[in-house]
Amino acid sequence: MLTLTCPYCGIAADETELAPGGQAHLKRFGPGSSDDEFEGYLFARKNPKGVHFERWRHAYGCGKWFLAARCTATLEVFGTYPAQVTEPPPEIIAAIKAKRPDWKGF
């Protein structure tokens, strides 16, 4: 069972209190972008075995969207952080590197 701490209300929320939102930090390509960029934005997703960044919504709690860094193989959670950022904050990167020294980076 996955437990993620919501950075907005501070609750260590059970997975069943959350709604998944897929991969985090997507860059949006809309009108004016190339077909390849638009296709990538819509459909191309990472599928790593290991460190992954995801969007989650505290659906049954405070209702807010937040981001989480976790390992897809072990379910280990490296940290959660507010969604108003375009890349993982330094403390999250540091927490991942401390536990996965061979991680290639975001």
Partner 1 sequence: MSEPTSALGGSSAEGFARVTEAGLHGMITLRGDLAAPAMARALKAATGCALPGQRAISAHGANLAAWMAPDELLLLLPYPEAAAICAKLETALAGEHALVANVSDARALFRITGAKADQVLAKLCPVDFAALPAAEIRRTRAAQVAAALWRSAPDEISLICFRSVARYMFDLLATSARPGSELAPA
Is 37 a binding residue for partner 1 by CB under 8 A? The answer is: no
Q: CB of residue 14 vs partner 1: minimum separation in angstroms?
A: 3
Instruction: Pick what 42 binds: Zn ion, partner 1, none; C-beta below 5 to 8 Å, kind-dependent.
Output: none
Compute the distance between CA of residue 81 and CA of residue 11 in angstroms, rounded to an integer.
Answer: 13
Question: Collapsing DSSP states into helix, strand and coil, what is residue 13?
Answer: strand
SS3 labels along 67-97: EEEEECCCCCEEEEEECCCCCCCHHHHHHHH
Q: Quick one: 6 or 69, whose CB is closer to Zn ion?
A: 6
Residues that bind partner 1 (CB under 8 A): 8-11, 13-14, 16-17, 60-64
